[in-house]
Amino acid sequence: LMQLFRPLDLLGWVYRTIRQGLIDMAEMFRLMDTSVEVEDLPGAPALIIRQPTVVFDNVVFGYEPDRTILHGLSFEVPAGKNVAIVGPSGAGKSTIARLLFRFYDPASGRILIDGQDISQVTQASVRAAIGIVPQDTVLFNDTIGYNVAYGKAGADENEVLAAARDASILPFIEQLPKGFETEVGERGLKLSGGEKQRVAIARTLVKDPPILMLDEATSALDTRTEQDILRTLHRIAEHRTTISIAHRLSTIADAHEILVLDHGTLAERGNHTALLTKRGLYAEMWARQASESQSA
Ligand code: ATP
């Protein structure tokens, strides 16, 4: 019975998550692999955001007790600024995203949004404040309209239209015979990587979150599409507190601050120019990527 019960439990949680319009997370964090171990404190209030600052204050975290991944990480993303996180594979970049979503609690240290410790407020209110444009967007076997609208429970037609326009996918949708009613996914229209990404952007715009997390959002696209999408992302990130997790440094060279993570500690920090001057890990990664793109 216990074996039956646990998956059902998880299903209930996933269902509630969907109802709250928070399903974006499912794609990014492969929900089914993520244990549901964080619970709201009894009577926890909702997060209230006036200035969407994000602070990691000496955060220590490991998935397993005997293997620490983040070794006392501190950084601040001021309201409306863009901070990029880079670093070698396995450095802990996605772990930061998972912690900010409170899929896990730190072993010690605090994560604050607008001065409020996210472990002291409801998870739903934390997740509602953060929008994600994941690497790989999963679309539902439903209409394009549905796929955009579901960024926010109860989104109306005008919001969906405006979001599609801002994500630069409206002209594409309007030339389809059935427009927003076009079925997409396995049973319907197949979208290209770039079109899917634009649907994801539109979905995030419908949600209209004060905090944005971009996870190397342009990894599977050709250069021109990538440039187009980057422009769109820059536009929607303006005035929002943004954390970008990047593999390719060219996409984040204009970030307010770049955090270079190495084995769970901050190896370097600064803007692009300052980091190049340091001739450290970032400069090395930059030189390597520049020579790779030249030979490509
Ligand atoms: P990449 O650039 O390759 O995506 P990353 O910097 O995002 O890497 P993380 O996914 O944050 O790295 O992983 C950091 C470390 O935590 C890795 O060593 C990884 O093996 C480990 N890790 C990640 N998820 C889990 C998990 N669910 N359970 C145990 N260890 C994990």
- Residue identified by tokens 């440039």 is 227
Closest residue CA from atom 3 of ligand 1: 89
Of 93, 245, 262, the residue with max ligand 1 atoms within 8 A of its CB, to mutate for a pocket test, comes to 93
Distance from C-alpha of 210 to C-alpha of 48, rounded to nearest angstrom: 11
CA separation for the pair 146, 180 (Å, rounded): 8
How many other CB atoms sit within 10 Å of the CB of residue 90? 13
Distances, alpha carbon 208 to alpha carbons 2, 107, 159, 201, 211, in Å: 40, 31, 10, 10, 9
Host H or E run for residue 209: none
Name the residue with the closest Cα to ligand 1, atom 18.
Answer: 90
Q: Residue 134 and residue 30: Cα distance in Å, rounded?
A: 11
Q: Using only the alpha carbons of the chain, give its radius of gyration.
A: 19
| Predicted structure pTM score | 0.81
Residue nearest to atom 10 of ligand 1 (CA): 94
> 95 C-alpha to center of ligand 1: Å?
6
- Which helix (H) or strand (E) segment is 146 a member of? helix 144-149
Beta strands 70-77 and 257-262, pairing class: unpaired
Query: Residue 120 Cα, ligand 1 centroid: separation in angstroms?
Result: 25
The rounded Å distance from CA 63 to ligand 1 centre is: 9
> Residue of the nearest CA to atom 11 in ligand 1?
92
Give ligand 1 pocket residues (Cβ under 6 A). Answer: 63, 69, 87, 89-95
CA distances to 23, 104, 214, 228 from 131, rounded to whole Å, are: 11, 18, 8, 20
**Centroid of ligand 1 to alpha carbon of 214 (angstroms):** 17
Identity at 268, one-letter amino acid code: E
**Which residue has the CA at smallest separation from atom 17 of ligand 1?**
90
Q: Are the C-beta atoms of 173 and 182 separated by less than 8 Å? A: yes
Q: Which of 46-85 are b and which e, b meaning 16 or more Cβ less than 10 Å from the residue's Cβ?
A: ebebeebbbbbbebebbeeeeebbbebbebebebbbbbbb
pLDDT tens per residue, the chain (296 residues)?
A: 333 444 445 555 555 555 444 444 544 454 444 445 688 899 999 999 999 999 999 999 999 989 999 999 999 999 999 999 998 888 898 899 889 989 899 999 999 999 999 999 999 899 889 988 876 777 888 899 999 998 788 888 999 999 999 898 999 999 999 999 999 877 777 888 888 888 988 999 999 999 998 876 445 567 777 777 778 888 888 889 999 988 778 778 889 999 999 988 999 999 999 999 999 999 999 998 888 776 65
